[in-house]
Amino acid sequence: MKANTRLCKQLLAQRRTFSSTVRRLDNYAFIGLGQMGYQMARNLQSKLPPSDTIRLYDINRGAAEKLAQEMSVQQAGGASTHVADSAADASREADTVVTCLPEPQHVKATYESILKDELPPRPGPRLFIDCSTIDPTSSREVAAAVDKALPNGQGHFVDAPMSGGVVGATAGTLTFMLGAPDSLVARSEIVLQRMGKRVLHCGPQGAGLAAKLANNYLLAIENIATAEAMNLGARWGLDPKVLASVINVSTGKCWPSEVNNPVPGVVKTAPANRDYQGGFGIGLMRKDLRLAILAAKEADAKLVLADKASEVYETAESEERCKGRDFSVVYRWLGGKE
């Protein structure tokens, strides 16, 4: 009897402890609402609890207002949403800041504006997650600026570029390549998995970008080679579907041959079947290739095919029939049969 009474008292004490423990409200900022960022912010907001707050900012205020309006109309839960007047305004009270910006200069300028004035203390360390694809050196410079402005562990900066394109951003199936110390992996994953499906920890800060650029350099070369091989086979009289089926069970198999085949009619879901609309823009591939070349020079790594590949994408993009289209449009530029 006494044992039962003691157990009841323990359970009652535990209940009182649990009921009096209130979850701390988290504030988020999302800066950069381009094609990717817009969808990522939408997914993040929808998967946060209603007690949290997310502040949106983009240089195009209309994009932030449009997204906030969509969130308010469709909201069946999710964090409360506000439109900020600047990146600094969005970040001032934020525990977690996510940035998704086009170029290194945009990332540097944004963080300079955020860190220019002293940020008020938060209950815990601030976390800055940059999902932009920039060069690792620029990313490390921004990380150093964060450490200087928020010393003694008040703020941390990690890089998390993504793969999956606008389709993956919309569906919430992105893969993030995380560059962060081990101590920040778990916290970063919680945020990133609300916007994607998989988080690959690549090493310390800067490692995520190194992995992303190495992968995209390989992709740039494979895409050109696939277009050349498919064009070559067609001119020899081979049926493109037959040639693709051979390549895709042989040593030439790669993502451009199997998933993003550049010949119309070979892969039903490929951009080639939509006049090369959608997909991974040729301008974005040019940008990533340029960043990979820059990073390779800084690392003293030889890229013997880089300059020629860069020339191919630049020349193809300059033609109206290829401009703004998926990067597999180099097949068209080569004179491939459509």
**DSSP H/E element including 64:** helix 61-74
- How confident is the model over 252-304, as pLDDT tens digits? 999 999 999 999 999 999 999 999 998 899 999 999 999 999 999 999 999 99
Q: With contact defined as beta carbons under 8 Å apart, do 27 and 55 qualify?
A: yes
Active site residues: 212
| Cα 307 from chain centroid (whole Å) | 26
Tens digit of each residue's pLDDT (9 = 90 or more) over 176-229? 999 999 999 999 999 999 999 999 999 999 999 999 999 999 999 999 999 999
pLDDT at 156 over 60: yes
Say how many C-beta atoms besides its own lie within 10 A of residue 4's C-beta.
8
Is residue 64 within 8 Å of 157, Cβ to Cβ? Answer: no
